[in-house]
Amino acid sequence: MNSFTVLWESALKKLESYYEANQNTIAFSTYIKILSPAFEENGKYIFKVPNEIYKEQFQERFAPLIFQTMKECCLETYGQDRALEIFYYTPEELDQYLLNRPAAPRALGDIALNPNYTFDTFVVGKNNNLAHAASLAVANSPGIAYNPLFIYGGSGLGKTHLMHAIGNRILEQNPSARIIYITTEAFTTEFIESIQKHTSEAFRNKFRKVDVLLIDDIQFISRARETQEELFHTFNTLREANKQIILSSDKPPEEIPRLEERLISRFKWGLTTDIGLPDYETRVAILKKKAPYIKELTHCTLEIEDEVFTYIASKEDSNIRDLEGALNRVIASAQLDSSLRAITLNVAIGALGNFFTSPVSKVITPKNVIRKVCEYYDITEEEIMSKTKSRNIAYPRQIAMYLLKKLTDLTNQKIGECVGLTNHSTVIHAYKKISEDMEKDPDLQGILTDITQKIKE
């Protein structure tokens, strides 16, 4: 997640609260939410919009509010008022701009760490205590403790927070440390550009001469064979020099589809640790930790009663983003009523509406179950429906059958048909095997929980 993305995520939360408070969520969903941050350079923020019609709507109706919100987020994130310009480009305009613009040199160790993501702002619970302890150890002794550190877990659970916290702590202790934080997508893009522009040596120097390399969402590297080759040599160079490597993913190394065995083994050389969904006590603690920060951003002076925190935390399948979004909504709603002296339980109940019921009301379809399993394992629906018996296809197929049996009312015969099988006994075998594997492998339970959460979203 680069600095533009971090800034835009903060702005999105503010804008969502604004439009919800003004009962205009359709405008937010139709226009604001689809904005895609393309890149930023020298205070120039460029968004990609679908077409000319959307571009005109943005410039006429939404540009002033987006600009003001981005200015506020810059001040809150960086502690200073920055000059900025915002542009909206269609895909064609963006391609033309990138084609004509001169390549800007990027300095070694050019990083974009969110200063709000520190160990002090991270709430520790049973779901993340090992990941937190390992991250703290790495931050205090980079290159010595747990190298590489591999953190995995579902979306919105705190992986990126811990990565930024490691980088921020290392810089506190050693301001001259050379650190690069980058997403896998950005790493791949830079690698491809280095080939096209014949700057491969500069690319290697950039990533192989750092003290700390943090790569987010490493699961996406499975799509690029040549990038895996480059990462393999970069990994070896850094580790041989005792430089710290931290990786994050939505699944453990051995579950990343099409990842080379030599990378799987190297990713597991140090420590692999997961982050799960927070339990009730941790959810309450997260809400209480975030409340002062959210109140400061929204200029809210109302006290929040404890019952509000416990009410929001009672939603069992919530990740951190869900919790923060719910609290934002409650605070925004309360600020519309000037007669309030505190944010009470009744205010929260009125503001959240279907927050607790929406997952239940969603119909779970076989197609969606199969789609989410395929997305997790990076295979196609055609592959899961095929007769292929290789483990990288057969095991996801068994997981799909297990989830279909758990989450739907389909018969074994119908479940088999959903994955291209005619023998219902195969479904029985798959359900039994996955159930037994879960007892022997705690990581599998986390994987199934993650997929189930995505199915219900």
Instruction: Measure the CA–CA gap between 152 and 149, rounded to whole angstroms.
Output: 10
Any idea which fold 366-456 has?
Answer: Chromosomal Replication Initiator Protein Dnaa; Chain: A; (1.10.1750)
Over residues 79-93, the pLDDT tens digits come to 666 678 888 888 778
CB atoms within 10 A of CB 80: 7
Instruction: Measure the CA–CA gap between 238 and 246, rounded to whole angstroms.
Output: 11
CB 61 within 8 A of CB 104: no
Domain 280-353, CATH number (from 1.10.8, 1.10.600, 3.20.20, 3.40.50): 1.10.8
CB 242 within 8 A of CB 367: no
Residue 109 has pLDDT above 50, yes or no: no
Instruction: Give the type of residue at 47.
Output: F
Over residues 198-219, the pLDDT tens digits come to 888 989 999 999 999 999 999 8
19: which 2 tokens? 């439009």
* High-pLDDT (> 90) share of the chain, %: 30
Burial of residue 260, with CB atoms counted within 10 A of its CB: 0-12 exposed, 13-18 middle, 19 or more buried: middle
Q: In the chain, what are the domain boundaries? A: 3-100, 119-274, 280-353, 366-456
Residue 326 has pLDDT above 90, yes or no: no
DSSP assignments along 19-74, one per residue: HHHTT-HHHHHHTGGG-EEEEEETTEEEEE-SSHHHHHHIIIIIHHHHHHHHHHHH
- Indicate the range of 91-105, 146-160, 279-293 predicted with least confidence: 91-105
- The residue whose two tokens read 């008022």 is 81
Q: Residue 363: what pLDDT?
A: 66
- Indicate the range of 229-238, 347-356, 393-402 predicted with least confidence: 347-356
Residue 308 has pLDDT above 70, yes or no: yes
Q: Residue 354: what pLDDT?
A: 67
Over residues 141-163, the pLDDT tens digits come to 999 889 999 999 887 889 999 99
CB 278 within 8 A of CB 155: no
CB 123 within 8 A of CB 286: yes
- Rounded mean pLDDT, 304-317: 88
Provide the CATH number for the domain formed by 119-274 in this structure: 3.40.50.300
Over residues 34-71, the pLDDT tens digits come to 888 887 776 788 888 878 887 888 888 888 899 888 88
Residue 104 has pLDDT above 60, yes or no: no
Domain 3-100, CATH number (from 3.40.50.1000, 3.40.50.620, 3.30.300.180, 3.40.50.300): 3.30.300.180
* Domains 3-100 and 280-353 equal at CATH topology level: no
Q: Residue 99: what pLDDT?
A: 56
CB 180 within 8 A of CB 109: yes
- Indicate the range of 3-12, 382-391, 430-439 predicted with least confidence: 3-12
